[in-house]
Amino acid sequence: MSQGPVVSIIIVTYNNADVIGGCLQALVRQRFCSFEVLLVDNASQDGTLAIVEREQGAFATRNISLQILPQTVNFGFAGGNRLPPDRRWPP
């Protein structure tokens, strides 16, 4: 029986185009690969989401799940962490 990831990493971001690529690249370089990444983009306006989408291929190559949850409003850090991983808010 196949097991899911051991660790879930939640990244909540807003207008972090200058650092998000490096953050995701550091995760892909980890030797430990039994993790998934849930990335909540709180309606960034600086190209953050485009950078995240470009990094998806590196995660797929390593069989690491990168689930992107783009939002239409900024829910803040706490609100971004409370989002259900299977859908976007507002519904």
- What is this structure's pTM? 0.86
**30-66 pLDDT, tens per residue?**
999 899 999 999 999 999 999 999 999 999 999 999 9
pLDDT at 88: 53
Residues near 22 by beta carbon (within 8 Å), at least 6 away in sequence: none
pLDDT at 85: 56
pLDDT of 2: 62
In the predicted model, what is the mean pLDDT of residues 3-18? Answer: 92
